[in-house]
Structure 1
Amino acid sequence: MMKTLALYGLILTFFFLSGAHSAKITFTNNCPRTIWPGTLALDQKPQLSKTGFELASKASLTLDVQAPWKGQFWARTRCSTNSGKFTCETADCRTGQVTCNGNPAILPASLVEISIAGRGGIDFYDVRLVDGFNLPVSVATRGGTGKCKASSCPANVNAVCPAKLQVKGSDGSVLACKSACIAFNQPQYCCTGPFRPPKSCPPTNYSRIFKQQCPQAYSHATDDQNSSFTCSGAPDYVITFCP
């Protein structure tokens, strides 16, 4: 009996250390309007059971994730179906459907990145504004051990977005804010060529606008040390749009 219990304990330890566990990710929409979150698995990880879905204001939805897993999450806004084709004015994924089916968001978009049971079995996560902004968003853990701090971008960056970076809707309102890299496609803003990070690509006046509005968010290619968070102990996650 003791040998059986010891063997069972070893099996559990192996599965925990190898990251063979499941996590739950809950999406909550605190925005006043319906949004359409998208999900994307990275590094050849399996796509989740829902790669895109409708989420009404004040509604929540939970998805299961089998570790190890790495991916991105975002929200599409002002979506509609015309002639049978589903499209969104921000962060669309070009499928013509509510589901994204492995397609990334059209930038600019506020991204949440989560790596579950990554290096050493530790989770890594952040709010990413390097590729621009469309909605306020936060990511927080439930359970887990270690620092496990929440990362949040609660500010509406669109309200202070420079004219050269603005994405406007048909009604003239600012729907999203491009990164300088997307807007100008120049090495000093994209950290390419002679401006490769870390030493040759300092923050710019444009990236500082994002950082000032959302200090916890990852807003520049050299910003990962201050804006990437870790958690261990198999936590669950809550992603809140318009926190």
Structure 2
Amino acid sequence: MISLGLTSEAALFNIRNNCPYIVWAAAVPGGGRRLNRGETWTINVSPGTKAARIWARTGCNFDGAGRGRCQTGDCGGVLQCQGYGQPPNTLAEYALNQWNNLDFFDISLVDGFNVPMEFSPTSAGCSRGIRCTADINGQCPSQLRASGGCNNPCTVFKTDQYCCNSGNCVPTNFSRFFKDRCPDAYSYPKDDQTSTFTCPGGTNYKVVFCA
């Protein structure tokens, strides 16, 4: 068996709700948790995890069995998410212990925006965090407005120009709306150069809603 030199320690993600309203935090892997204002939820994520997400759901109503619906970010009508959320939702995305034993992390608006967010490392001497705290919902273009959030144009128009299905798309006026307000966040699928950040494998992180 070939060793890739991966760290064997789980990464800790501390998820905090600073919003003046309830959010139902969601994580894949991780599940879900109701967070009142000021409450936190910590999850342990295995090294080597890829294509992982954390996001906030709003306007939720769940029964005692954990079934219900959310206005934004709903993940199949369950409290304990097994799959990704329904747009619009601000996403904290990450992959742990990848190339060169680095973690890769970003905030993505490719699924739109629902809640302001900070996504920052908290250990390993890694200090460069990301914030997307603009009033995107309040300033959302009329074509992209949704209940409780602001859709990305791909969700609305479903064209290659906005969705990048061919892999050859460029920024648009709609993607620039997001980029101007959150320069560190992904605004369209090919927005890699200014939107992906790295830390050494084994770093811990925090995700703060309404930072």
TM-score by length of 1: 0.80
The structural deviation recorded for 1:192 is 2.5
The structural deviation recorded for 1:202 is 1.3
User: Aligned residue for 1:227?
Assistant: 195
Q: What amino acid is aligned across from residue 86 of structure 1 in structure 2?
A: G
Matched, 1:134 2:114: yes
The structural deviation recorded for 1:103 is 1.5
The answer to whether the Cα contact below 8 Å between 1:145 and 1:233 also exists between their aligned partners in 2 is no
Classify the secondary structure of the residue corresponding to 1:37.
strand
The structural deviation recorded for 1:99 is 0.9
Matched, 1:93 2:75: yes
The answer to whether the Cα contact below 8 Å between 1:93 and 1:103 also exists between their aligned partners in 2 is yes
User: Aligned residue for 2:160?
Assistant: 187
TM-score by length of 2: 0.92
Of 13, 17, 21, the match for 1:33: 21
Q: Distance in 2 between matches of 1:31 and 1:166?
A: 21
- Report 1:1-243 matches (<5 A): 17-40=5-28, 47-48=29-30, 51-70=31-50, 71-81=52-62, 85-94=67-76, 96-100=77-81, 102-145=82-125, 148-168=127-147, 175-193=148-166, 196-197=167-168, 201-243=169-211
Q: What amino acid is aligned across from residue 178 of structure 1 in structure 2?
A: N
User: Structure 2: where are the runs of 5+ without partners?
Assistant: none
The answer to whether the Cα contact below 8 Å between 2:24 and 2:33 also exists between their aligned partners in 1 is yes
User: Aligned residue for 1:172?
Assistant: none
- Number of residue pairs matched by the alignment: 207
The structural deviation recorded for 1:190 is 1.1
Q: Distance in 2 between matches of 1:116 and 1:65?
A: 9
Q: What amino acid is aligned across from residue 119 of structure 2 in structure 1?
A: V
The structural deviation recorded for 1:97 is 2.6
The structural deviation recorded for 1:222 is 2.2
Q: What amino acid is aligned across from residue 241 of structure 1 in structure 2?
A: F
Structure having the higher Rg: 1
Higher share of residues assigned helix: 1
User: Structure 1: where are the runs of 5+ without partners?
Assistant: 1-13, 41-46, 169-174
The structural deviation recorded for 1:182 is 0.7
Q: What amino acid is aligned across from residue 34 of structure 1 in structure 2?
A: I
Q: CA RMSD in A?
A: 1.8
- Displacement over 3 Å in runs of 4+: 81-85
The answer to whether the Cα contact below 8 Å between 1:141 and 1:236 also exists between their aligned partners in 2 is yes
What percentage of aligned pairs have identical amino acids? 35
Q: What amino acid is aligned across from residue 80 of structure 1 in structure 2?
A: N
